[in-house]
Structure 1
Amino acid sequence: MNDRFSRGERREPSFGYERGESRDDGDMRLSPDDRPVRFQQGPTRTEPERQLRKPPRRDKRAGGGGSGGGKKRGRRRRRSLFGGLFYWTMVLGLWCVIGVGGVVAYYASQLPPIDQLTVPRRPPNIAILAADGSLLANRGETGGRTITLGEVPPYLPKAFVAIEDRRFYDHFGVDPVGITRAVVNNLRGRGGVQGGSTLTQQLAKNLFLTQERTAARKIQEAILALWLERTYSKDQILELYLNRVYFGSGAYGVEAAAQRYFNKSARSVTIAEAAMLAGLVQAPSRLAPNRNPDLAEKRAKLVITAMADQGFISQDAARTAMTAPAEVPERTGAGSVNYAADYVMDVLDDFIGAVDGDVTVLTTIDTKLQSSAETILVDALAAQGAKLHASQGALVSLAPDGAIRALIGGRDYTKSQFNRATAARRQPGSSFKPFVYLTAMEKGLTPDTIRDDAPFSIKGWEPENYSRSYRGPVTLRTAMQHSLNTVAARLIQEVTPKEVVRTAQRLGITSAIQPNLSLALGTSEVTPLEMTAAYATFANGGQSVLPYVIREVKATSGKVVYARKATNFGPVIQKQPLAMMDTMFTGVMNGGTGSKFNIPGWEVGGKSGTTQDYRDAWFVGFTARLVTAVWVGNDDNSAMRRVTGSGLPGEIWGKYMKLAHVGAQPIPLPGGFWQGVPAPVEAPVAQMAPQQGGPMPLEGDRAWTPPAPQEKNFFERLFGG
């Protein structure tokens, strides 16, 4: 008590009453000033006593007072500080949630309605197969067909999970930590962050969004990832991912990538190859194994280690894959199969129309013939092209029924995609002469008909022989054998250029041909494919030929969309004129300009062609098994250095045809041979023919009679016009 009064406080006695109050029961007490105070229930004290019992105030200025009271007030202030921080943190957090929700709602509104959202259809792939079923090329935006998880080895999809999203089967489609990190860095001006996205988010980006690195795209990516997880199973998402992710070099999807980098299907990749493919998606350009094999291998080892750590492969399998890393085979050749694939795409629409889904196209291309044709053509141009100033070449090889076995459209597809085999129109030179001779045979002449090989002039045109020498009277057989220009010029004057044009068109020449006298020397431009198809008529017994490359088209379901049926457009050359022509063709190969390229044991026909100033050189020939045309020249139509058809083109033709017939049983030409039936030889055909212009009858057969005008021609019969 002394302590209390020591601070200057006066103690007064307390009686339990306050001044001015009266008691209302018997328990009344008097205060010092005689004013009663009402009794409070429970222990009560007077005002002075209450004041005395209050804890003393600490004088902040003097620093006095007890230590216990100061600690309590400090704790209250700390509690008050922490409470304020907590309060404002909660308020700030609430506003952040509201703000983030608003941002998410805004960017979600920029997306299509969720109930209308669908996975966009993958662009269709056209797998082009050779006649033996092997893959020639893929066409389409993706570069490869769709593949299912059940088709590939289990370690292939697991390689992607191991390196890209090891918690793929545990999360709900979004990694919140990664998304937050990406947003923060983007707000700092650093753009989006790679590596924070799940496989589902990457798929969402590939399916629906652009490649820009912004916070907006990341938000939309997360929203779409949640939708994907809700709509599809994990395996379905992984399968979609494997078929849509970009692997570089124009390859979309794991099947396209396996074909592009390893020349095999994804169904056949090894663990090391699967790891290299999985590591590639992080940076396709930088990690492409055909560009940076060391970086690709280093990344693949990280994938293999991750696969082993997660139990996707055994430690032994991992060690084996580490010691035998994947190797990218060196691409050899000029990629000539792409010329054939391009031609398939050019004509495919005519058979099946628009392509809505993946299809497989079975072609007539023979991979061995295609490869050997490419090698022979490319090697010949590499060895002699610079010296002869011959930069380009083309080769077309058909079966006698018109099936394309090999098609080389140029020297190197990677440098020039222009298909010279199907699209380049060049002057055929003397290789066009057989159409003149056939017209003459159908007008009544024979191989033994004699014409004068001597200089002459027709309205100022003076055709000359290549040798500048003349033989005098010769048979037509000899004239064709040695490619005498003067005799061919005399014949076209007799049978008229218009008749020669009709003959060429009947046999399959579709390019516009000018009906003039110089046509006898091949001055009208044609394509190698047209020439090969026309010559096929001489090899198959006179039947009309329409070149074709597609046998069958199937959808991924196995449904046959198109199947080629055997067609027979009928004969366009009668038996006897055909036998005469085959006799003259074999004469060229047995003692004429093609004698160096004959195939022992086979009946072979052929004809060379050279144009003015050596701008084009051809060799076209056939057996009963194969018909082939070779062209050599320059794209700018510049002159070569004395390259003739019996030179470089003939050499290429001979090497290819001899290789193509190795091991094959010789087959005689179905047209047979002319045995030397006598016929008038002196008078010109124009004088021998009836005045109506009809054909002269031949012994044992009649010449081919052109159809009457009201009848359908070849193309009308073919296309139904």
Structure 2
Amino acid sequence: MNFRRWVIGIFSVLTLGLLIFIAGYFVIYMNGHTLLQKNMEKLDMAEATVVYDRNGNEFARLFMQNRELVTLDQVPDKLEQAIIATEDQRFESHAGVDFWSIGRAIVKDIVARDLVEGGSTITQQVAKNMFLSADKTFFRKATEVSIALALENNFGKDEILEMYLNRIYFGNGAYGVKAAAERHFGKDDLEDLSLLEIAVLAGMPKAPNTYSPTNNPDKALERAAVVLSLMKDQGYITEEERREALNSTLGKPAPRGDGSASAMKDYVLEQAALVTGKSEEELRIGGYEIHTTVDAKAQQAMDEAFANPDLFPEDGPKQVAQGAMVIVEPKTGGIVAMNGGRNYVEKGFNRALADRQPGSSFKPIAVYGPALETGNWQPYSILKDEKMSFGNYSPSNLSGKYAGEMTMMEAVRRSINLPTVWLLNEIGVDRGLRFAKDLGIDMDAKDRNLAIALGGLTHGASPLEMARAYGAFANNGVLAETHVITEVLDTDGHRVYAFEPSEKRVMSERTAYYATTLLEAVTQKGGTGTKANFGRPVAGKTGTTQLGLKGVKDSAGNRDIWFVGYTPQYAAAVWMGFDETNAEHYVKSGSGTAAAMFAAVMKKAMEGMEVQDFKRPSGVEEPKEVEAPAAIADLSGFYDAEKREAVLTWSALPEAEGIEYRLYRKVEPFDAPAEMLHASDSTTVIDISGAAGKKYMYYVTAYSKETELESAPSNVVEVVVPGEGEGAGIGDDLPVLPDILPGEDGAGGDGAGDDGQETGGGNGNGNGNGNGNGNGGNAGGSGGDAGQPDQPTDDDEPVDSDDGEDADAPEGL
């Protein structure tokens, strides 16, 4: 009896379960049929998303434009098989839903305690992509199932597969398999696809951007290997075909595009996807409103300039000289305009986001900014400019000339290397790294070295990062969060996303203002960036990186050229170079070319905007320029044979307080640097160290302990120490001789002899600052040129070409 009741109970439960299943299936089926009938137009329609600029005007439309429809008879059998093997192995046998796959997905979801597995068939993917969002909820899944069943009842398998191949997204703006083949491999005819290319395409729907052969070729090939294994396991290809495919290469599309606002459009789409959590595909077809910080006028000015080949370096035989530019608004952090390169291809390589070595444009970020932030330095502080090494690191001035000392202002204005490295060593590399990081530059652990002073970074920096960083100088030390999306609305006007402004102080107002003072000088007469001047107050810095190619000797050649600058309203970065630098493709001009591009774009972009000056913040004093003490003019000396000593005397300066007198001596033939014999406040020095039969040259300088500045050298006195048995040798007062000591305009700095063995004279004390010691007489007198700027190597460009001292960061530092 109990057994009978048990059987009847089981039967009743099963019957009830079957009835519920039938009823549920019927409800799902009818629901799917109804949804399909109501939304048949979605099989061939998608609503465009509109992008608006900062003024609320339409800037661009995002829609399914890159699509070319194909019929199934135009699709190679291997491509159909690859898709089925990868996406839906039981496609030919199920009725739209694979309950085995759904069961597996449910188990994985339970284990993960989240909705992680799709379990969707090809039919379900058609249903999802055409009618539903990508949200992973059980309600959405049930609706997807119902529509899939309806599709199977209204269309044949070939029709559904054709819908899938024409509808699915393949990354880089390509919708449908034909557009994908053309976009990624440059092949109009699908029959021309190789087995490896077929496998790559079949593997992309799972994660189109991740497995894009254009963006991530290595990951694309890894995924293709999985697809080929699935095809082999399911009998579509042989092991030999699989191996041959893995050993083949992928085709590449021919360059196309006109370099228009595509880079900005692509960036807007990428950022909208990031901030909303929606896929690019959903955004393209969802009818959204995307409001941005884009200034259409600035974007147009940039695109027009990038279309002008005269504004770029000379092209190579196989590559065009490339470039990238970004403009940001320092006060808000809004990205105003962006160009990713000449002949930019939609969803292509955006050079505005790519890292390159920044050269001297990095000096304000890694050295001068953090030095000013300590409070111990100001624009007219004195820096050393002497040939020296820092452990194993031996930087040099490109000109090979050294002034001994110079102001920070002069070092920045002329982009001199040695003082920059010396200053970073003084303040500490860690301080420079922290400052750069605070400005948003992603520094590597390997960057903890002095090479960052000259822009020698492990990974480099992108134009967007550089523009953002300089924007903090323009914004009185405050770094606003960089963004391009301000708001996203759905088709019903509901807000999907709204930007919340944020900012942080990364330096004091004093530091920002003093940095601007330094960088303004770069764009004015005598600076390396005068070509960036376009009639408004502008500050900025040039940058180049050395060519460093074996077998290529071109003093004017560079890998990268930069100009990064700002006005009170806009900050911008310009990079130029080649995508692949080699012996045939390198930049043959200086950073003046990048500065000229900056001026050309900014002049048009800011036309009609109020002309503003850089304002000194309240409580910040103007930096004060200090002068070196006056030179001693009455040095006299003689040799006292009886006492066997040389006696040197001079008159004290009127401002004697805080003055230290430094006596220097050189021995004949005067081809070695002078040595400092004595330093004190005394105006008489007795030298008993002279050797018999030698002739010595003496001069004296005045050094201010307060300003740390040293005067120009005095007149020169020669003293002869008599040999054994000779009489007294009394030296005469001598004037400053051009071939002995440097004077105004660097006189005597190069010596008299072509072989560099003649008297180079002096100690690097030329009248540019009149300071420094121990560098004259080096290979015929490398000192003494402080009175003149180092000359550029490109005769076609004046000092602003930046060629004189800015090719400073060798590749790989």
What TM-score results when the alignment is normalised by the length of structure 2? 0.45
Question: Which structure dedicates a bigger proportion of its chain to strand?
Answer: 2
* Two-structure CA RMSD over aligned residues (Å): 3.7
- Check conservation: 1:507, 1:544, Cα contact below 8 A: yes
Q: Distance in 2 between matches of 1:558 and 1:116?
A: 28
Question: For 2:287, which of 338, 342, 358 is the aligned residue?
Answer: 358
Q: Distance in 2 between matches of 1:383 and 1:578?
A: 31
Spell out the pairing of 1:269-308 with structure 2 (5 A cutoff). none
Q: Distance in 1 between matches of 2:379 and 2:267?
A: 38
Q: Distance in 2 between matches of 1:547 and 1:554?
A: 21
Spell out the pairing of 1:124-163 with structure 2 (5 A cutoff). 126-139=49-62, 141=64
Spell out the pairing of 1:597-636 with structure 2 (5 A cutoff). 597-600=532-535, 602-613=536-547, 614-636=558-580
Pair 457,659 (structure 1): closer, same or farther in 2 beyond 3 Å? same
Q: Give the C-alpha shift of residue 641 in structure 1.
A: 4.7
In the alignment, does 2:270 pair up with 1:339?
no
- Check conservation: 1:608, 1:645, Cα contact below 8 A: no
Pair 512,141 (structure 1): closer, same or farther in 2 beyond 3 Å? farther
Match of 2:304 in 1: 375
Q: Distance in 1 between matches of 2:312 and 2:624?
A: 47
Q: Give the C-alpha shift of residue 468 in structure 1.
A: 3.1
Question: For 2:328, which of 378, 395, 398 is the aligned residue?
Answer: 398
In the alignment, does 2:556 pair up with 1:556?
no
Match of 1:713 in 2: none
- Check conservation: 2:298, 2:336, Cα contact below 8 A: yes
Q: Give the C-alpha shift of residue 419 in structure 1.
A: 0.8
Q: Give the C-alpha shift of residue 566 in structure 1.
A: 3.8
Q: Distance in 2 between matches of 1:623 and 1:646?
A: 19
In the alignment, does 2:452 pair up with 1:519?
yes
Question: For 1:430, which of 344, 360, 377 is the aligned residue?
Answer: 360
Q: Distance in 2 between matches of 1:344 and 1:458?
A: 45
Q: Give the C-alpha shift of residue 652 in structure 1.
A: 0.7
Question: For 1:586, which of 511, 514, 520 is the aligned residue?
Answer: 520
Pair 207,340 (structure 1): closer, same or farther in 2 beyond 3 Å? closer
Question: For 1:675, which of 622, 628, 639 is the aligned residue?
Answer: 622
Q: Give the C-alpha shift of residue 659 in structure 1.
A: 1.8
Match of 2:441 in 1: 509
Match of 2:405 in 1: 473
In the alignment, does 2:476 pair up with 1:541?
yes
Pair 576,140 (structure 1): closer, same or farther in 2 beyond 3 Å? same
Give the letter aligned to residue 364 of structure 1: T
In the alignment, does 2:509 pair up with 1:575?
yes
Match of 2:372 in 1: 441
- Check conservation: 1:453, 1:470, Cα contact below 8 A: yes
Give the letter aligned to residue 465 of structure 2: E
Give the letter aligned to residue 307 of structure 2: V
User: Aligned residues, how many?
Assistant: 403
Q: Give the C-alpha shift of residue 113 in structure 1.
A: 3.7
Give the letter aligned to residue 571 of structure 2: V
Q: Give the C-alpha shift of residue 664 in structure 1.
A: 2.1
Give the letter aligned to residue 655 of structure 1: A
Q: Distance in 1 between matches of 2:575 and 2:429?
A: 25
Q: Distance in 2 between matches of 1:207 and 1:544?
A: 43
Q: Distance in 2 between matches of 1:489 and 1:500?
A: 11
Q: Give the C-alpha shift of residue 594 in structure 1.
A: 1.1
Q: Give the C-alpha shift of residue 541 in structure 1.
A: 1.4
Match of 1:116 in 2: 32
1:47-105 per-position Cα deviation (integer Å, ceiling 9, x unaligned): xxxxxxxxxxxxxxxxxxxxxxxxxxxxxxxxxxxxxxxxxxxxxxxxxxxxxxxxxxx
Q: Distance in 2 between matches of 1:621 and 1:439?
A: 18
SS at match of 2:338: strand
In the alignment, does 2:601 pair up with 1:656?
yes
Give the letter aligned to residue 560 of structure 1: R
Match of 1:464 in 2: 396
Match of 1:451 in 2: 383
Q: Distance in 2 between matches of 1:610 and 1:222?
A: 62
Give the letter aligned to residue 437 of structure 1: Y
- Check conservation: 2:262, 2:346, Cα contact below 8 A: no
Q: Give the C-alpha shift of residue 674 in structure 1.
A: 5.4
SS at match of 1:385: coil
Q: Give the C-alpha shift of residue 382 in structure 1.
A: 7.6
- Check conservation: 1:534, 1:545, Cα contact below 8 A: no
Give the letter aligned to residue 131 of structure 1: R
Which deviates further from its counterpart, 490-499 or 644-653?
A: 644-653
In the alignment, does 2:366 pair up with 1:419?
no
Q: Give the C-alpha shift of residue 518 in structure 1.
A: 0.6
SS at match of 2:524: helix
Q: Give the C-alpha shift of residue 508 in structure 1.
A: 1.8
Q: Distance in 1 between matches of 2:412 and 2:269?
A: 39
Q: Give the C-alpha shift of residue 371 in structure 1.
A: 1.5
Question: For 1:492, which of 424, 447, 457 is the aligned residue?
Answer: 424
- Check conservation: 1:582, 1:671, Cα contact below 8 A: no
- Check conservation: 1:539, 1:671, Cα contact below 8 A: no
Question: Which structure dedicates a bigger proportion of its chain to helix?
Answer: 1
Q: Give the C-alpha shift of residue 647 in structure 1.
A: 2.4
Q: Give the C-alpha shift of residue 439 in structure 1.
A: 1.1
Q: Give the C-alpha shift of residue 534 in structure 1.
A: 0.3
SS at match of 1:132: coil
Give the letter aligned to residue 461 of structure 1: Y
Match of 1:320 in 2: none
Pair 385,127 (structure 1): closer, same or farther in 2 beyond 3 Å? farther
Spell out the pairing of 1:214-229 with structure 2 (5 A cutoff). 224=154
Give the letter aligned to residue 515 of structure 1: R
Q: Distance in 1 between matches of 2:29 and 2:292?
A: 44
Which deviates further from its counterpart, 453-462 or 481-490?
A: 453-462
Pair 344,136 (structure 1): closer, same or farther in 2 beyond 3 Å? same
Pair 222,430 (structure 1): closer, same or farther in 2 beyond 3 Å? closer
Give the letter aligned to residue 592 of structure 2: G
Pair 676,418 (structure 1): closer, same or farther in 2 beyond 3 Å? same
- Check conservation: 2:313, 2:321, Cα contact below 8 A: no
What TM-score results when the alignment is normalised by the length of structure 1? 0.51
Q: Give the C-alpha shift of residue 573 in structure 1.
A: 1.4
Give the letter aligned to residue 588 of structure 1: V
In the alignment, does 2:595 pair up with 1:665?
no
SS at match of 1:456: coil
Pair 511,378 (structure 1): closer, same or farther in 2 beyond 3 Å? farther
1:459-498 per-position Cα deviation (integer Å, ceiling 9, x unaligned): 2322122333333311001000000011111011111211
- Check conservation: 1:578, 1:671, Cα contact below 8 A: no
Q: Give the C-alpha shift of residue 563 in structure 1.
A: 2.3
1:142-166 per-position Cα deviation (integer Å, ceiling 9, x unaligned): 679xxxxxxxxxxxxxxxxxxxxxx
SS at match of 1:503: helix
Match of 1:328 in 2: none
Match of 2:635 in 1: none
User: Unmatched 5+ residue regions in structure 2?
Assistant: 1-24, 68-125, 132-149, 156-166, 168-172, 177-255, 548-557, 627-705, 710-813
- Check conservation: 1:428, 1:616, Cα contact below 8 A: yes
Pair 671,334 (structure 1): closer, same or farther in 2 beyond 3 Å? farther
Pair 478,131 (structure 1): closer, same or farther in 2 beyond 3 Å? same
Structure 1 or 2, whichever has the larger Rg, is 1
Give the letter aligned to residue 676 of structure 1: P
Q: Distance in 2 between matches of 1:115 and 1:626?
A: 56
Give the letter aligned to residue 487 of structure 1: P
